[in-house]
Chain A
């Protein structure tokens, strides 16, 4: 069981929008910034969003992040088949003194 809870899968058609939720608690999301990672099939994870809502250079603005209380959300607009990947949220847990990841969400672009 992951400390952070994500839906196992989401799907949407090309061009549509999808959101992926990440639910935690006051000891993790409620007390630290959230980052999101994209893992394309067979590759290493890549940073997608940091500090809740910031995009690294090179990440298109189709990707967005937000946080409210003990939950965070990743949004992807204008879906493309190349967005099919696993997406993970992550943050620091002050009670565990440990980094924690969500269980991951598999995005399918139908």
Chain B
């Protein structure tokens, strides 16, 4: 069974840092691009970052320079290092796998981990 399990969420003060992890199973992790997507309470989905199989990374303007996505294929793991956190970064963070084929879509999602930025 293809599965993604996130961890590392918690309460952090504004300006602080946090590292999220996502462990993959049931597929060859190194063969797929991966993404992080977040959702604030009562709000829509927001793409946070993506990483290709060679390690190329992509970010939206809202987190560029503050968040760093990385992967460790030997451990089937995806990471999101978040720094200079703000209240507006409070959300559930989902790890998602890119689907097969030439076009981008996300075919498997984890259950999410909650990040709360508050003093």
**Chain A: residues with CB nearer than 8 A to chain B?**
2, 32-33, 35, 37, 39, 43-47, 50-51, 56, 86, 88, 90-92, 96-104
Choose from B35, B37, B60, B103 the contact partner of A51 (Cβ within 8 Å). B103
Number of B residues contacting the other chain (C-beta, 8 Å)? 23
Known: A33-B103, A35-B106, A44-B112. A99 touches B44 (CB 8 A): no
Which residues of chain B have C-beta atoms less than 8 A from A92's C-beta?
103-104
Give CA–CA (A101, B106) in the complex, Å. Answer: 12
Say yes or no: A2 contacts B105, CB within 8 Å. Answer: no
Least distance between B7 CB and chain A CB atoms (Å): 15
Known: A97-B58, A98-B58. A47 touches B99 (CB 8 A): yes
Choose from B44, B59, B110, B112 the contact partner of A103 (Cβ within 8 Å). B44
Give CA–CA (A88, B45) in the complex, Å. Answer: 8
Choose from A33, A44, A102 the contact partner of B105 (Cβ within 8 Å). A33
Least distance between B27 CB and chain A CB atoms (Å): 14
Q: In this complex, what residue of A is CB-closest to B106?
A: A47
Say yes or no: A45 contacts B45, CB within 8 Å. Answer: yes
Q: In this complex, what residue of B is CB-closest to A56?
A: B107
Which residues of chain A have C-beta atoms less than 8 A from B106's C-beta?
35, 37, 45, 47, 90
Which residues of chain A have C-beta atoms less than 8 A from B59's C-beta?
98
Known: A2-B44, A44-B110. A99 touches B94 (CB 8 A): no
Say yes or no: B44 contacts A47, CB within 8 Å. Answer: no
Known: A44-B94, A51-B105. 20 other contacts (CB 8 A): A32-B103, A32-B104, A35-B106, A44-B110, A45-B37, A45-B45, A47-B106, A50-B101, A50-B103, A90-B45, A92-B104, A96-B60, A97-B58, A99-B104, A101-B45, A101-B46, A101-B47, A102-B44, A103-B44, A104-B44
Known: A51-B101, A97-B58, A98-B58. A104 touches B107 (CB 8 A): no
Say yes or no: B58 contacts A44, CB within 8 Å. Answer: no
Q: In this complex, what residue of B is CB-closest to A36?
A: B105
Say yes or no: B110 contacts A104, CB within 8 Å. Answer: no
Least distance between B44 CB and chain A CB atoms (Å): 4
